[in-house]
Structure 1
Amino acid sequence: MTRAKLPALGYAYVALALPALLLGLQHERAKTTLVTGAAFAYLWFIASLRARLVRFDPDGFFASVVVLGGGAYIALQTLAVIGGATQAAAPAAACAATVIIGSSLAAWRARKIARWFGQAGVAGGIAVLVVGLVEAAGDWTLAGGRVFASSLGFMVWVVVTATYLLRR
């Protein structure tokens, strides 16, 4: 796989993480296997995003924010998915929101995306954060306690971003 195609691993992340979210607590080995593959794909996706952000923002501020948020997110999401811990939803959502907002601001400020698209990214990041806070405060999830809506929102962003990166 070439560096130009690495954003496609965002699709692999979603394809592996989504079934892991949907599996019940009785399928621990399958969930662990899926989350492991998802984490591998996600880390490479984040690396490809970082490479693009460094070009947009040469001092590296936004790229650093995205990498730190991305690394913390995957650790917290793993804890939430494997352990079913809704307490990890809010911190994971905060990390996901950091990735979304940081990358949206970097691309918007560099004028690599339309203003409305940058604003939509920032609004989406805020929405992911708020939903994560509600999930944690109310011990709330979708689909009978298995699916974190904040994670679904982040996965939508990953698919949109991977598509954008592959088209450029």
Structure 2
Amino acid sequence: MTRARLPALGYIYVALAVPALVLGADHPGGASALFTGAGFAYLWFLASLRSQLIRFDPDGFFASVVVLGGAAFFALQATALPAGDPHVAAPSAACAATVIIGSSRAAWRARKIPRWFGQAGVLGGIAVLVVGMLEGALDWTFAGDSLFASSVGFMVWVVVTATYLLRRSAGAPL
């Protein structure tokens, strides 16, 4: 796989993470295997995103924020998966929101995306954060023990971002 195609691993992350989170604590072996594959794909997706962001923001501030938030997100999700505990998973929403907002701000600031798209990303990040806070406060999950609405929101963003990065590398308009 070429570097230009690495964003496609965002799709693999989502395709493996959703069933892993649905299986959750009820099927720990299957969930762990799927989430391990999801983690591999996610880390490569995150690296491809960082590579793009460093071009948008040469001092690296946003790229650093995104990578730190992305790594912390995955670690917290991996910890919450076997427990199925919203109190453990809710803080991952802060990390996911950091990735979404940091990426959106970097691309918007560099004028690589339309203003409305950048604003939508920032609002989406805020929504993921607020939903995560509510999940923790209300001891709530979207489905089963381990599928959180904040995680689903983040995964939607991953799919949109992977699509954008792939189209950008192919020279297609947004």
Q: Does 1:25 align with 2:13?
A: no
How far did residue 24 of structure 1 move? 4.4
Question: Which segment is superposed worse, 15-24 or 104-113?
Answer: 15-24
Where does residue 84 of structure 2 map in the other structure?
84
Partner Cα distance (2:90, 2:164) in 1: 27
For the 8 Å contact 1:89–1:150, the answer to whether it is kept is no
Where does residue 75 of structure 1 map in the other structure?
75
How far did residue 142 of structure 1 move? 1.7
Where does residue 136 of structure 1 map in the other structure?
136
- TM-score, length-scaled by structure 1: 0.97
Runs of 4 or more above 6 Å deviation: none
Where does residue 52 of structure 2 map in the other structure?
52
Where does residue 112 of structure 1 map in the other structure?
112
CA RMSD of aligned residues (A): 0.9
Partner Cα distance (2:89, 2:133) in 1: 7
- TM-score, length-scaled by structure 2: 0.94
- Aligned residues: percent identity? 74
Alignment gaps of 5+ in structure 1: none
Question: Which segment is superposed worse, 113-122 or 77-86?
Answer: 77-86
Partner Cα distance (1:13, 1:106) in 2: 23
Partner Cα distance (2:78, 2:24) in 1: 14
Alignment gaps of 5+ in structure 2: 169-174
